[in-house]
Chain A
């Protein structure tokens, strides 16, 4: 298993994000044994109100250059989900990354129904090629 050795680390990383409190900064990047992933949390209203989707776009651009292969954009709430879609539209148009799959749902949170979304993006410069390993053989 590719994640075999890193599975526990990966679970710990995800648990760290799961239990993260508002305002608490954590490293959103996970690198282990070929899995280079970053989770982009869209949630700070002050960032969205002041700068729109620009900080998220520039973060993805920078991280993609540094070799992050997979991005997950997580958002909760109608506005944040809209910003997430904007960010995805922006980075996909610039052909930095491509959207591979996504998940959205509604959850009950403090008596309200909130939309949640989770979008997976893949760095276009590191697309997986299953036949790449055979190229050098010939």
Chain B
């Protein structure tokens, strides 16, 4: 009778022996198993941490998008303001936006703040912006995206790191003189509209945005695009 057969017979008559045998096996080979157990534990901890972190970010972003849609008048320039849900996929090479039924998914390779900001910007540029009232003016459209990104980040009260990453990203985009000028104008406009009450008709909002920016560009002798 082989050892396997003896074990099978033993387990058949007494299943309680399984954990005991397992413990004995682990005790004998503990030195060899220890590194695998440690690796598995790290992987599990990392996975759980990422899952909790991304859940926290997603819920904060969802409420930020919702708050912006209802409280920031400039967000009315977009026909649809759909929140973005993030997911970490370590094998992803770059930020990727996937349209799925009922949601928009942002795939990021790591949970770094700059990746999160990049994903939200890509969501604005790829999806939301095509329904903006100024999508025939390329630079104005870009400036509007950046202002709205800043508004979302401001309403996403999560932590300082995200705010710093967003501000770094926006400052880099504002190195373009025209975009910088439009960004300032649009931020001012949003503030003024908050004081006076928002404009419901999106055509009138377009008139306000376009004429204000065009006026400024005319005054300094620049081409409005």
* Contact between A11 and B221, CB atoms less than 8 A apart: no
* Contact between B185 and A1, CB atoms less than 8 A apart: yes
Q: How large is the interface on B (under 10, 10 to 19, 20 to 34, 35 or more residues)?
A: 20 to 34
A64 is an interface residue with CB less than 8 A from chain B: no
A118 is an interface residue with CB less than 8 A from chain B: yes
CB-contacts of B195-225 with A (<8 A): 196-197, 199-204, 206-208, 210-212, 215-216, 218-219, 221-222
Partner of B219, one of A1, A10, A18, A101: A1
* Contact between A3 and B196, CB atoms less than 8 A apart: no
B136 is an interface residue with CB less than 8 A from chain A: yes
A72 is an interface residue with CB less than 8 A from chain B: yes
A8 is an interface residue with CB less than 8 A from chain B: yes
CB-contacts of B12-66 with A (<8 A): none
* Contact between A14 and B216, CB atoms less than 8 A apart: no
- What secondary structure prevails in chain B residues at the interface with A? helix
A37 is an interface residue with CB less than 8 A from chain B: yes
- Closest residue of chain B to A116, judged by CB? B203
| CB-defined contacts of B199 to chain A, threshold 8 Å | 11, 14-15, 18
- Closest residue of chain B to A76, judged by CB? B203
- Interface core residue of A70, A74, A117, A130 (most chain B CB under 10 Å): A130
In the A-B complex, the 9 residue pairs with the closest CB atoms: A2-B215, A118-B203, A130-B221, A2-B219, A14-B204, A3-B215, A18-B201, A11-B196, A18-B199
Q: Which residues of A contact B (CB under 8 A)?
A: 1-3, 7-8, 10-12, 14-15, 17-18, 34-35, 37, 39, 70, 72, 74, 101-103, 105, 116-118, 120, 128, 130-131
Beyond known contacts A1-B219, A120-B210: 4 more, CB 8 A cutoff: A10-B212, A15-B197, A103-B134, A103-B203
